A and B are shown apart, each in its own frame.
Chain A
Amino acid sequence: MKYWIIFWTVTFFLSLGIFYLTVLLIIPFGIRDLWWLFKLLNDRKTAAETKEPKQSDSSIDRDNGQ
């Protein structure tokens, strides 16, 4: 049991540290990605409104002639 306790102590705190490091790193980069996504969608929407409506880009829809 002693080894299991050591195992869980090390593993749990290591994982906890990695989790919060991930959270801290993701927040600034996530905001950047979100801004980039909005810009992409907005550009696509503007392009779709000025040209003909864009259909699905799914490969299976293209195969089915949709």
Chain B
Amino acid sequence: MNEFFLTNFSIQDWLIVAMYLVGVALAGILAHRYISNVSDYMVGGRGSGTALNIANYIATGLCLVTIMYASIESFRKGFSYMMIGLLCVPVGLFVGITGFVVRPLRSLQLLTIPEFFEKRFDKQTRVVAGAICALAGILNMGLFPKMGATFITYATGLGATGNAEMVNWVTSLMIVLVLIYTAMGGMVSVIVTDFIQFFILGIGMGVGMLFCLTHPDLGWTRIITALSEHRGEMAFNPFHPDSYGWLYMAWMAVVTVGATVCWGPEASRALTTKDEKTTKRTFLYSAPSALARTGIPAFWAIAAFCFYSQHEEMARYFFPDGLSGTPVHAEQAMPLFMGKIVPVGLLGVLTAGMMAAFMSTHSSYFLCWSSVIVRDVIGPLRRRPLSDKAQILITRFNITWIAIFLLVWGIWYKLPDSVWTYMAVTGNIYLSGSATILIGGIYWKRASKAGALAALGAGLLSIAGVFLEPIQRIVPWLSTELLGLGNYALCALLFIVVSLFFPDRKQSELQENQL
């Protein structure tokens, strides 16, 4: 047994985690009694009030992969990473105050975002957007289980026993539980469980923060001093050449706007509310805390850096080239640190909180992508419309195969290590094209279906990001951020030019009464 990886996690903590898992699964399963039609199943009957919708919005957006990614990045780049979370604040406030994109979407009483494309352009655009949306979304989930498993391995101390298969079984169990309650109760189960998970997650994050700020080896001043001494300005200034730089931040600003209004699981919260006012309030009231949602796990990783810098063996393990050098095993740093500083009992609460983050995102993603496949790909391609019962049945089938795909792809299959490239690229495949045509479709009267299809096609070029390393051997100046930003620019350019050259012969009803 490797004592280096031992943590405070004990049998009491496993009991807390088990109680949480049983409780949340039961609540999710019982909620299925309230389903009576496809609108109840896919958008919770459009009955969500402001507070409930905000809780759901936050729980969906704050997944364990976000927490893990935030901690990996901050372990490398300190506070600079928090600028990405900070970008969400003005974007969310703007969307919340003006109702930009989300208000018109809610007013149309849609069940999915791609439905808008049929109303504004045509059926073909809806099917193409739906297919790309589902493909990108499901691929984007590919790393979720792996990141969840990494957290559990190092926070629970299972890394010390080398019992990797046990971690796979725990992660598989969580996915199966989410699959059962989401397939049974649809959005109603998602709303109920997300609300419980929001509460558990809030407590778990609070526990983590408390110990980072009050531990005798840590505290705010010690953490800041350690970081500034060893990592220098790049750990605080995101525009520093050794940190992210301006271009990367510009790309992130564009991604933030696109994701806020167009990324299915989160943007679909605009559709679940009882009215347009509640939709606007959801974005407005959740915006100010956006930084804390990524900032808290980022701070845990910064505190981990301070902790490891005081322990020679650990410092050598994570920073073989010295504390100012590039860290290795960054994904293990935060979970291992939390497992070492949080005491028995509270560590179970923290882990249950992280499992809540894992499950709440999976449930929303499962339902969102499955609904898109049924409503926007299968439905429009059929001559006869699907009944409510058939739509719910096919959605349940889709949730099951997406879960099976995740189990095989994300846990048992070894994925490449580049977490962020994978996430950003798969997200961009859909976002770059769809966000462009969604915004253009709502606010530009001359937008045409030819332009929309051209932009969606251009978005597929983002797949090149997966193969960036071999491409960079030929084009060495091509960076991830340049490719990402360039792709958005290309989509927008093609959308405008093609729309101007190939206008629609017949205007849609929406075009005539431009929103």
Contacts and interface: CB of A to CB of B under 8 A. Distances in A.
Interface string A6-50: 001101100110111011011101101110111011101100110
Nearest to B49: A33
Interface residues of B, number: 60
Nearest to A22: B289
A5 B388 contact: no
Given A12-B79, A15-B288, A57-B46, 13 more contacts: A1-B232, A5-B236, A16-B296, A22-B285, A33-B50, A41-B188, A44-B45, A45-B36, A54-B37, A56-B391, A57-B109, A59-B108, A60-B110
B51 A41 contact: no
A65 B383 CA distance: 12
Nearest to A49: B36
Contacts of B109: 57-59
Interface of B: 34-40, 44-55, 58, 79, 82, 86, 108-111, 115, 118-119, 188, 191-192, 195, 198-199, 202, 206, 209, 220, 224, 228, 232-233, 236-237, 285-286, 288-293, 295-296, 299, 385, 388, 391
B291 A30 contact: no
Interface of A: 1, 4-5, 8-9, 11-12, 15-16, 18-20, 22-23, 25-27, 29-30, 32-34, 36-38, 40-42, 44-45, 48-49, 53-61, 63-66
Nearest to A13: B220
B363 to A, nearest CB: 16
A15 B295 contact: yes
Contacts of A42: 34
Main secondary structure of the interface of B (DSSP, over half): helix
A56 B119 contact: no
A59 B110 CA distance: 6
Sorted from nearest, which 4 A-B pairs have the closest CB atoms?
Answer: A33-B49, A29-B51, A19-B292, A33-B52
Contacts of B233: 1, 4
A28 to B, nearest CB: 8
Given A4-B79, A33-B52, A64-B385, A18 B292 contact: yes
Contact of A44 (B36, B118, B385): B36
A41 B49 CA distance: 13
18 contacts: A15-B295, A18-B292, A19-B296, A22-B288, A22-B289, A34-B192, A37-B52, A41-B35, A41-B45, A53-B388, A55-B37, A55-B38, A55-B388, A56-B38, A58-B38, A59-B108, A59-B110, A65-B385
Contacts of B232: 1
A58 B299 contact: no
